[in-house]
Chain A
Amino acid sequence: MVLSSLINGIVLGSLYALIALGPTLIYGILRILDIANVAGLTLGAYTGLKVFEATHSLLAALVVAMLASAAFGYLLQRFLYRPILGRGPLIPLIAGIGVFIAMEEVFRLVFGPYPLDFPATVPLPTVHVGGAVVTGVQLLILIVGIAVLVGTWYSLRRTRLGLLWRATSQDTETASAMGVNTGLVIATIFLIGYALAAISGVLLGINYNTVYPTMGDIPAYKMLAIIVLGGLGNPLGTILAAMLIGLVETFVVAYLGFVLPRDAIAFIVLIVILLVRPQGLLPGESFGS
C-alpha cells in the first residue's frame, strides 16, 4: 500500500514536473506566467491522438504533437508575447489567459465537447516491484520524465543554449548588451517549452485514456502552484515541487480523503505558500547552483 502509493506519487510527480518544466523555463527567461502553455498541452494531446488513430504509432504521435505545439508556441511568442514584453508582468499574463480560454473553445468547436478515448497500448511490460504494480503507461511516464529532466539539466548546464538561458534569465538587458541574441533564445525556449507541453499532453491522455477540451484546466493551476512553490523559474525547484505535490496528493487521497476537492486544496496551499514564503521553497535562479 505504502509502496504503491509511493510509486503512484512519483509517477504523478513526474507528470506534473513535465507539465511545469516548460512554463518554468519561460518564466525564468521572460518573467511571464505562461498560462497559454496548457493550451499547448491540449493541442499536443489532440494532435497526438489524431496521429495515433491514423498511424497507430505512438512515436509518430509524440513527434507530430511536439511539432504542432512547438509551432503554436513559436507563433505565440513571436506575435503575442514579445510585442507586449515591456508592459510589465500582468498584461502578458492576462493575454495568456485569453489564449487559454479561447483555445479551449477552439478545441471544443473542432473536436467536439465530449471526451475522446486515447486507446494507445504502451509497448512496455507491467512490472512488479515488491507488492506494487507499475503499469506500462506508468513506466513510460517515468522513463520519459527522467529522460526529459536529465536532458533539460544537461542542456542548461552543459550547452551553449543553457548558458544563454541562464544569462538571459538573470539579466535580460545585460545579456543582450553582451551580444546574446535574446530573441533567438526566447524563441528556442518557447519551442522547447511547448514541445514539453505536447509530451505532457500525450502522456496525460494515455494515462487517463481520455482527451477533452478542458483537460488543461487542472494542469494549469497545478502548474502555477508548482512554479511558485519551486521558487519561480528555478527548474530544479520545479521538479522537487512537482514531486512533493504528486506525493502529497496521492498520500492525502489514499489515507485521509478530503472534504474539499483537490482543486481547491491546491489553490489554498498555493495562496498560503505565497503569503508565508513568496520566494518559493528554493530561492530563484537556475539549476542546482
Chain B
Amino acid sequence: MSYMIVVGVTVVIYAILTVSLNIIVGYVGQPNLAQGAFLGIGAYFAAVFSTRYHMSFWLTIPLAFATAGVAGLVLGAISLRLREDFLAITTIGLNFVIVAVFQYVPFFGGAVGIYAIPLPSIAGHQFSNNAFLTVGLLMLAFVMAVSKYLEHTWFGASLMAIRDDETAASSVGVPVASYKVIAFTLSAAFAGMAGSLYAPFLSAVTPTSFGFIESVIVLAMLIFGGLGTIRGAVLGAVILGALPEAFRFISNYRLLMFGAILLLMLRFQPEGLVGEGSVLVKLTRRATEELRRRRHKGTTDSPAAGV
C-alpha cells in the first residue's frame, strides 16, 4: 500500500510536469525540451534553502515557483529570437547548461548534490507519504485549474492563435511577444513548484536527475497522452509514469519505451491517445453521437417508450 503511494506521488509529479509543459508545447506550439531542467531548478532551490537556511517547506513552494519562473522568463525571451528547430536545440542545450551549473557551482552542492533534505511538517507533524500525495494532488489540481481557466480566456485563446498563425494573431491584436514570454514563465514556474515537492520527497537531489533524458521523458508522456489537452497530459503521465512501476521488467527498457513511444506516436498518431482528433476521441465522439441519435429517434418514433 505504502509503495503504491510512493508510485502515486511520482505519477503526480510527472502529471504536474506534463500539464505545465502542455501550456507551452500544446497551447502555444513552442518546442520545449527543458521541462526537466525547470523541475531541477525548483528542486535545487527548495533543497538548498531548506537544508542550509532551514526554510519551511511551505515557503520553498513559492520560492521554487519563482526561481523556475525566472528561468522560464529567460527562455521565453530567447524564444522570441529563435524559430522551431533552433529553439528546440536551444532548450536541449539548456538542460546541459543547468546540469553543469548544479555540478560545478558550490552553492548547489557540487556533483554529489544535496542530501538529508528535511521532511516537511504540518501542524507539528512530519509528512507521511500520504501527506506528500495530498500536497501533490493539490498542486496538480491547481495547475490543471489554471490550464482549464486559460482555455476559456482570451489569453488562452490568443496562445492557441499564436500556435496557429503568429502573424494573423498579431493582426487581431494579440501581443505575441509578451504572451509567449508569459506562457514560458508560467509553464516553467509550475515545473519548479513540482520541484519543491520532489526534493523533500526523495530527500536528496543530484545534478544528473534533471537532465535532457528527464525532459524527453516528460515530453514523451505529453505526446503519448495527447498534445494540447489537459486530459491527454494527465493520462500520459499516469500511464507512462505507472507502467514501469507496475511491470518491473519494463524499467529495464525504460528509455527504449520512451524513445519508441516518441517515434511511433509522432509517426502514426501525432494527436496522442486522447488528444483532439485522435482515433480514440473520434471513435468516442461518433459513438456518443450515434447513441444520442438513437435515443432521439426512439423518442420521436414512439413517444411513450422514450420516457
| Chain A partners chain B | yes
Q: Which A residues are closer than 8 A to B by beta carbons?
A: 31, 33, 79-80, 83-84, 87-91, 93-95, 97-106, 109, 221, 224, 228, 259-261, 263-264, 267-268, 270-271, 274-275, 278
Q: Determine the chain A residues whose CB is within 8 A of the CB of B255 once the complex forms.
A: 101-102, 104-105
- Judge whether B100 and A102 touch: CB under 8 Å: no
Give the docked Cα–Cα distance between A7 and B252 (Å).
43
B104 on the interface (CB 8 Å rule)? yes
Indicate whether A101 sits within 8 Å of B93 (C-beta atoms), given known contacts A84-B267, A93-B88, A263-B100: no
B270 on the interface (CB 8 Å rule)? yes
Give the docked Cα–Cα distance between A109 and B251 (Å).
12
- Judge whether B104 and A259 touch: CB under 8 Å: yes
Q: Mark interface residues in B211-246 (1 if CB within 8 Å of A CB, else 0).
A: 001001001100100000000000000000000000
B59 on the interface (CB 8 Å rule)? no
- Judge whether B259 and A99 touch: CB under 8 Å: yes
Q: Determine the chain B residues whose CB is within 8 A of the CB of A83 once the complex forms.
A: 267
- Judge whether A261 and B259 touch: CB under 8 Å: no
Q: Mark interface residues in B172-188 (1 if CB within 8 Å of A CB, else 0).
A: 00000000000000000
Flag the segment in B77-85, B144-152, B191-199 that touches A. Answer: B77-85
Shortest C-beta distance, A230 to chain B (Å), equals 14
Instruction: Name which residue of chain B comes closest to A39, CB basis.
Output: B259
Indicate whether A102 sits within 8 Å of B81 (C-beta atoms), given known contacts A90-B88, A221-B93, A274-B86: no
Indicate whether A93 sits within 8 Å of B93 (C-beta atoms), given known contacts A102-B260, A109-B256, A259-B104: no
- Judge whether B82 and A264 touch: CB under 8 Å: no
Give the docked Cα–Cα distance between A102 and B266 (Å).
14
- Judge whether B266 and A98 touch: CB under 8 Å: yes
Partner of B263, one of A89, A99, A224: A99
B31 on the interface (CB 8 Å rule)? yes
B131 on the interface (CB 8 Å rule)? no
Q: Mark interface residues in B75-108 (1 if CB within 8 Å of A CB, else 0).
A: 0001001101110111011101101110110000
Give the docked Cα–Cα distance between A64 and B107 (Å).
50
A-B contacts besides A105-B253, A263-B96, 18 pairs, CB < 8 Å: A79-B267, A89-B85, A90-B85, A93-B85, A94-B88, A94-B262, A98-B259, A98-B266, A99-B259, A101-B258, A102-B258, A105-B254, A228-B89, A260-B104, A264-B97, A267-B96, A268-B97, A270-B89
Q: Determine the chain A residues whose CB is within 8 A of the CB of B223 once the complex forms.
A: 94
Q: Determine the chain A residues whose CB is within 8 A of the CB of B31 once the complex forms.
A: 90, 93-94
Shortest C-beta distance, A268 to chain B (Å), equals 6
Instruction: Name which residue of chain B comes closest to A98, CB basis.
Output: B262
Give the docked Cα–Cα distance between A267 and B91 (Å).
10
Shortest C-beta distance, A225 to chain B (Å), equals 8
Shortest C-beta distance, B289 to chain A (Å), equals 29
Closest 8 CB pairs of A and B: A102-B259, A98-B262, A264-B100, A267-B93, A105-B256, A98-B263, A101-B259, A89-B85
Q: Determine the chain A residues whose CB is within 8 A of the CB of B135 once the complex forms.
A: none
Give the docked Cα–Cα distance between A109 and B253 (Å).
8
Q: Which of B260-307 contact A (CB under 8 A)?
A: 260-263, 266-267, 270
